[in-house]
Amino acid sequence: MKRLNLLLLLSICFSLISYGQFKQTPLPYDYKALEPYIDSTTMYIHFNFHHAAYTNNLNKALEKYPELYKKDVTELFKNLNELPTDIQTAVRNNGGGYYNHSLFWTMMAPAGSTKMSAKLEKALTASFGSVDAFKTAFENAAMTRFGSGWAWLVKEPSGKLTIYSTANQDNPFMPDSKVKGTPVLALDVWEHAYYLKYQNKRAAYVKAFWSVVNWAEVEKQMGM
Ligand code: MN3
């Protein structure tokens, strides 16, 4: 009985400590669900070590300002320059890493499980000339990002769709982003996202990504 009480007390303490902190949402599929395009070892390491580290480091950085745990993380990005100066870099890098990966996981689904709707095809064709032209431009953004970063399809406040890329863990919510808006498709082009399977062949990874894009989620993010 005493031991049970102690366990109960400990679990209450832990839940109080972690209350309100940012948390990783579990992956919506198995680690192996995106094979052969994205291998299960990469998914496991990427989610449990890289994404987990960004999440933990964001929470650690906000310890002095616990009221910020209650904010939507995208609000922290939008107001980055108004945050206490000692956490701005951590919110940019670790907050960016936390949010960007959370979005990225939902942007993928097992190959063949979703299909681009006629409505989305029409929107992409209207913006880029054709779906193929859209894909080529997106691949180009992913390939020309020097070093680590992300490729994005962004819905700007005007509704305009724009392809864009950012360095490191930056994203289109941040005040110094040249293109601002809501990301509706995201691709991680850090080497940790593809090195085990593709080594230096980023182009092969970027091409493979099309097989596992969750088109239903892209539409949802676009508000269609
Ligand atoms: Mn990553």
- State which residues form the domain around 173: 118-222
* 49 in a structural domain: no
* 153-193 pLDDT per residue, tens: 999 999 999 999 999 999 999 999 999 999 999 999 999 99
Q: How far is the CA of 210 from the centre of ligand 1 (A)?
A: 17
Residue 74 lies in a domain: no
pTM: 0.91
Q: How far, in whole angstroms, is CA 100 from its chain's centroid?
A: 2
Q: How far is the CA of 160 from the centre of ligand 1 (A)?
A: 27
pLDDT per residue over 47-65, tens digit each?
999 999 999 999 999 999 9
Distance CA 9, CA 15 (A): 10
Does 181 map to a domain?
A: yes
Query: How remote is the CA of residue 149 from the centroid of ligand 1, in Å?
Result: 9
| Ligand 1: centre distance to CA 165 (Å) | 14
120 CA distance to ligand 1 middle (Å): 27
pLDDT confidence tier of residue 9, bands split at 50, 70 and 90:
low
Q: Is residue 58 part of a domain?
A: no
Distance 95 CA to ligand 1 centre (A): 13
Give me the pLDDT at residue 20, please: 75
Evaluate whether residue 39 is within a structural domain: no
CATH of residue 188's domain is: 3.55.40.20
DSSP-based three-state secondary structure for 201 = coil
Q: Which residues contact 87 (CB under 8 A, 6 or more apart)?
A: 61, 62, 64, 65, 68
Looking at residue 134, its pLDDT comes to 98
Of 125, 205, 127, the closest CA to residue 164 belongs to 127
The pLDDT of residue 6 is above 90: no
> Which residues 6+ apart lie within 8 Å of 120 measured at CB?
215, 218, 219, 222, 224
Distance (Å) of CA 180 to CA 77, 122, 163, 190: 11, 23, 11, 21
- Do the domain assignments include residue 47? no
Q: How far is the CA of 71 from the centre of ligand 1 (A)?
A: 23
CA of 220 to the centre of ligand 1 (A): 22
Ligand 1 centroid, distance to 108 Cα (angstroms): 14
Per the structure, the count of domains in the chain is 1
Using the mean position of ligand 1's atoms as its centre, give its distance from the Cα of residue 119 in Å.
Answer: 30
Distance (Å, whole) CA 122 – CA 48: 37
Confidence (pLDDT) at 10: 54
Amino acid identity at 86: D
At 85-137, the pLDDT tens digits run 999 999 999 999 999 999 999 999 999 999 999 999 999 999 999 999 999 99
Does residue 82 lie within any of the structural domains?
no
Neighbours of ion ligand 1 (CB under 5 A): 188, 190, 193
Whether 202 maps to a domain, the answer reads: yes
Distance 35 CA to ligand 1 centre (A): 17
Query: From the CA of 166, how far away is ligand 1's center (Å)?
Result: 13
Indicate the pLDDT class of residue 8, thresholds 50, 70 and 90: low
